Amino acid sequence: MEAHCLFCKIVAKTIPAKLAYEDERVLAFHDINPQSPVHVLVIPKAHMTSLAHSTPDDEALLGHCLRTVATLAESLGVAHAGYRTVINTGIDGGQTVHHLHVHLLAGRAHGWPPG
């Protein structure tokens, strides 16, 4: 828990969020400013600043974050149509919240290359 981290506060439930999934290691909640009809963020509960800050010890947790995206997409009914998964990292990656999060975007076609 990082005292000044927004997403750590969502994990601690001192800031509310519309939850989509929770277990002992990860939390998923709907983005406050959705960019697609479905826009959910999957985060590790333990603070990790970004993918660039991950270590080999985080491999299982990172895999669990991705598997959570896949099972959430199934439960939200978007897996068949498909979805976009995004991890923004650092300044050039456009990361604005410095607690690792995986975006799950669905419900419309997503263009490539991204902006």
Task: Report, as residue numbers or ranges, the catalytic residues.
Answer: 101
Distance (Å, whole) CA 98 – CA 46:
13
Asked if 51 touches Zn ion (CB under 5 A), the answer is no
Provide, rounded to whole angstroms, the least separation between the CB of residue 83 and ligand 5GP. Answer: 15
- Integer CA distances (angstroms), 27 to 12, 33, 64, 109, in order: 11, 18, 11, 25
Assess 68 for contact with ligand 5GP (CB under 6 A).
no
What separation in angstroms does the CA of 24 have from each of 21, 44, 75? 11, 9, 19
Which listed residue (37, 77, 82, 94) binds ligand 5GP by CB under 6 A? 94
6 sits near ligand 5GP (criterion: CB under 6 A): yes
Shortest gap between Cβ of 54 and Zn ion (angstroms)? 13
Give the binding range for ligand 5GP (CB under 6 A) out of 25-33, 54-62, 71-79, 104-112. 25-33
DSSP three-state, residue 86: strand
d(CA 82, CA 30): 18
Edge to edge, the sheet with strand 19-22 lists 19-22, 26-30, 38-44, 102-106, 83-86
When asked if residue 76 is in the footprint of ligand 5GP (CB under 6 A), the reply is: no
- Is residue 5 involved in binding ligand 5GP (CB under 6 A)? no
**Where on the chain is the footprint of ligand 5GP (CB under 6 A)?**
6, 17, 29, 31-33, 88, 94-97
